[in-house]
Structure 1
Amino acid sequence: MRSITYTTLCATAILVMILGASQTATAVTCQVTQLAPCAAAISSSSQPSKQCCAKIKEQRPCLCQYMKNPSLKVYVSSPNAKKVANTCGVPIPKC
């Protein structure tokens, strides 16, 4: 009886650790320079690279911060930037 209780307790503890680890969010460092691979696609009508799409997805939590910055808003909110984000499958946030 004791071994069953101990085994159940251990299994529950392992499950809690696994579930807790899967909910841990990775912090994103908001640096607009991380979007440098997208510069060509944003400044022209060219298709974004895979690296560009990866960076936009990574920087997605930062997009509102960039859009609120008067120096960056012109670039981040431009039609080409929206097209790049759309092509990469990143929805434009409503800030």
Structure 2
Amino acid sequence: MGSSKAVVCALAFVLLLAAETAAGASCDATALSPCVGAIMLGGAVTPGCCARLKAQQGCLCQYARNPSYAGYVGSPRAQGVVQACGLPKPKENI
């Protein structure tokens, strides 16, 4: 049952990312989908994930301020992914 909850959470995260795309044309949160496994399930951080994070780096603080994403962005796994990709930690209260 635990793995099905993880899949549901991962799918919910992807749907939230899709909703962000409609809200902000310059920031495409769906581009971060290669990072879902690492953030939601603790999987390996892939080069594709890091490339997408770097491309969206200017949007990370916006995502951190968004109440729909703040919990994901501030999670220990997400912070680990950001660190593994060599990016600065997004600040939620900018």
Tell me the TM-score normalised to structure 1 length: 0.66
Identity across matched positions, percent: 46
Superposed CA deviations along residues 36-86 of structure 1, whole A, max 9, x for unmatched, are 000000012222111100000111100111011100111111110000010
Instruction: Establish whether residue 68 from structure 1 lines up as the match of residue 65 from structure 2.
Output: yes
Displacement over 3 Å in runs of 4+: none
Matched with 2:42 is 45
Number of equivalenced pairs: 68
Structure 1 or 2, whichever has the larger Rg, is: 1
Tell me the TM-score normalised to structure 2 length: 0.67
Gaps of 5+ in 2: 1-24
Matched with 2:84 is 87
**What is the alpha-carbon distance in structure 2 between the residues aligned to residue 77 and residue 62 of structure 1?**
14
Matched with 1:34 is 31
Q: Aligned-residue CA RMSD in angstroms?
A: 1.5
**What is the alpha-carbon distance in structure 1 between the residues aligned to residue 71 and residue 89 of structure 2?**
14
